[in-house]
Structure 1
Amino acid sequence: MSAVQLEVLAPGAYASLQDGGRRGYRRIGVPWAGVLDTRLMRIANVLVGNAEGAPVIECFDGGLLLAARGGPLRLAVAGDAVLEIERGGERSALAPWRSLTLGDGELLRLRRMSGGRIAVVAVEGLVLTPVLGSVSTYARAGLGGLDGPLAGRALTTGMLLPAQAARADGERMLPLPPQVDEGPIRVVPGPQADHFSAAAFATLLGEEYRVSAEADRMGLRLEGPALEHAGAREIVSDATVPGAIQVPGNGQPIVLLADAQTAGGYPKIATVIGADLGRLAALRPGQVLRFATVTAGEGEHLARAAEAGTRALLAGVRPLAADGIDLAALQAANLVSGVVHALAAEYRPLTAAADQAAAPTPPEPR
């Protein structure tokens, strides 16, 4: 057992150990599991100095509280989280999208999410034993996570995660976090498109759906106009994948996520493309979404574009300045917009031409 450990003082709403997933076993009924948003995993790991696919803690909303035990530990948080660090009884706010070092006995608290519902915490040198090639926790089958009697369980109060002591090099940060895509969730029709009427597709693509309270790592149940079946409301069970949109007899769609079953008997009207699956999984209950259709070829192009965007983000990771302020990032961003000239007759954005036109006319000399 490692002398340096990370203690879970509170797991929050739901926290678990994940990585890229348990690939290659769906044919025998073992789901992928793994993080819901691989981009967050990769960013957090690069920030802390791990390999991109190293194990991480995935958590939802807020309430996660962690403490370093036995020595300094380096962590990094990816996601729009409101963080707090406690040192010597003093609490201070901390920005996400960066790494940090916790001294022995110091605490990191994820208070809440300011955007989305998923955050990922990477721990430098987290030591875990893979099961079927992955440490990902799949609680329904007791796979992954920690060894022994705690195997396959989500994180609980008192769990100790073995890691390595923090190195002496400095902290890192992501200067400009990923931009949130507010567009529709894109889908490829099928694989059981012929089980639905034309009206069902018009409804799926033309109406809004709301994420219900039944939303977890297995899937999202959506609420909205019912999707009309064109025949039998069930099929002979066949393969499913994360992103598949099943439609049970009540016509309310269910989008499958990482922990979903490997086969099912509800027809699937469409499948969410991989490039959009992470942001779909981050939607909170009550949030509204719309769908748009793309071809399989367009989905592949969007996947390549998303990967290029992620690699650009990772290439932008840089050392954190000693004072914690990245002036280059601040100066590269448009921090103020909508400025108006107080003397202008009509308020409008301030430009050099507008400034000159709005300036008062100097008095004539006497």
Structure 2
Amino acid sequence: MSAELRVVQAGTLTTIQDRGRRGHAHLGVPRAGALDAPAAGLANRLVGNDPAAALLEVTLGGLEFRLSTGRWVAVTGAPCPVLVDGRARGHDRAEWVPAGATVRVGQPRHGVRSYVAVGGGIAVEPVLGSRSTDTLAGVGPPVVAAGARLPLGRPGGAPRPHDTPRPRHPGPLRVTPGPRADWFGDHAVAALCDTAYTVSAASNRIGLRLEGPPLVRVRTDELASEGMVVGAVQVPPSGTPVVFLADHPPTGGYPVVAVVLEDDLWQCAQLRPGDPVRFTAVDPRPAPGAPRG
């Protein structure tokens, strides 16, 4: 019998994610992929998986599962209780889980999304080169539900010592000017960075929605739909920004005032409703002597 992961409880929202399906925006397909890429990468490294292996992204805990065969398991991202047959196990480390044991990923103490990697990876069929669940367009595997039986790939062996690079410490989201910053005046990015925002409860994998004083447009004409990128800070008619995340639509009709650096987007995955958000501007030009792509 093939090895599989059997879902007992799926929690608030659990999806299958990998590095995402890049290069299909022209088909109207979002990138998808793990929102906290460093945490997902660490989980795969801990259990000896290929960096592109699929794993589970768990929103606010509540996932419970069993394995049909013994495998190494690692839970990273938002710090949360990890129980195997009721006994506490470590976070950010590989743990051996025997066949039939029940693993429970509890509610995180802070942050939002935890990542569960199993040796061999989640081996559902890829769609357009990725096993990621896309919550906007519905491409890829469905959202994980109780009773699901997810196939596992062939494990690569026992985990081995390795470097575990971490992202920089949390801080203001670094931004560069967006293509429509001039729609908000000469000092639009400075105004964005001078404003204190909080995270809206309407945030999801599509976008981090913010609450706070609106940005005022100086141009009121209509904007034709144009391509969007991950990290785009789009400003709808309400004037309160939305940071586009992995499941964002490939096009949009509202102006983009700034773009968050990709290295900072992991923070957006871990911000809860009510958490404060600040932006800080960085120079988009390469430093003298830096290589040019």
Question: Do the two structures share a fold, i.e. TM-score over 0.5?
Answer: yes
Q: Which residue of 1 is the match for residue 107 of structure 2?
A: 112
CA distance in structure 2 between the partners assigned to 1:168 and 1:50 by the alignment: 9
Alignment of 1:42-53 (within 5 A): 42-53=41-52
Q: Is the contact between residue 18 and residue 135 of structure 1 (CA under 8 Å) also seen in structure 2?
A: yes
TM-score by length of 1: 0.73
Q: Which moved more, 1:228-237 or 1:54-63?
A: 228-237
Q: Is the contact between residue 13 and residue 144 of structure 2 (CA under 8 Å) also seen in structure 1?
A: yes
**Residue 210 of structure 2 is aligned to residue 222 of structure 1:** yes
Q: Which runs of 5+ in 2 are unaligned?
A: none
Aligned pair count reads 289
C-alpha change, 1:185 and 1:167, in structure 2 (3 Å) is closer
Query: Relative contact order, CA 8 A, sep 6+: which one is greater?
Result: 2
C-alpha change, 1:297 and 1:121, in structure 2 (3 Å) is farther
Q: Which residue of 2 is the match for residue 20 of structure 1?
A: 19
Q: Which moved more, 1:76-85 or 1:265-274?
A: 76-85
Question: Counterpart of 1:57 in 2: which secondary structure?
Answer: strand
**Residue 127 of structure 2 is aligned to residue 131 of structure 1:** yes
The C-alpha deviation readout for 1:88-143, integer Å capped at 9, x for no partner, is xxx22122111122212211111111232111111111322211111111133332
CA distance in structure 1 between the partners assigned to 2:30 and 2:198 by the alignment: 26
Q: Which residue of the other structure, out of 96, 99, 104, is the alignment partner of 1:101?
A: 96
TM-score by length of 2: 0.90
Q: Which residue of 2 is the match for residue 159 of structure 1?
A: 148
Q: Which residue of the other structure, out of 68, 77, 82, is the alignment partner of 2:80?
A: 82
**Residue 131 of structure 2 is aligned to residue 143 of structure 1:** no
Shift of residue 298, structure 1, vs aligned partner: 5.5
Q: Is the contact between residue 118 and residue 282 of structure 1 (CA under 8 Å) also seen in structure 2?
A: yes
CA distance in structure 2 between the partners assigned to 1:200 and 1:167 by the alignment: 50
Question: Counterpart of 1:43 in 2: which secondary structure?
Answer: helix
CA RMSD of aligned residues (A): 2.5
The C-alpha deviation readout for 1:183-212, integer Å capped at 9, x for no partner, is 211100111111112464343111210000
Q: Which residue of the other structure, out of 191, 194, 202, is the alignment partner of 1:203?
A: 191
Q: Which residue of 1 is the match for residue 260 of structure 2?
A: 272
C-alpha change, 1:251 and 1:238, in structure 2 (3 Å) is same
Q: Which residue of 2 is the match for residue 257 of structure 1?
A: 245
Shift of residue 165, structure 1, vs aligned partner: 7.0
Higher helix share: 1
Shift of residue 81, structure 1, vs aligned partner: 2.6
Question: Counterpart of 1:214 in 2: which secondary structure?
Answer: coil
Question: Counterpart of 2:248 in 1: which secondary structure?
Answer: coil
CA distance in structure 2 between the partners assigned to 1:294 and 1:167 by the alignment: 41
Question: Counterpart of 1:252 in 2: which secondary structure?
Answer: coil
Q: Which residue of 1 is the match for residue 224 of structure 2?
A: 236
Residue 8 of structure 2 aligns with an amino acid whose one-letter code is L
Which has more radius of gyration? 1
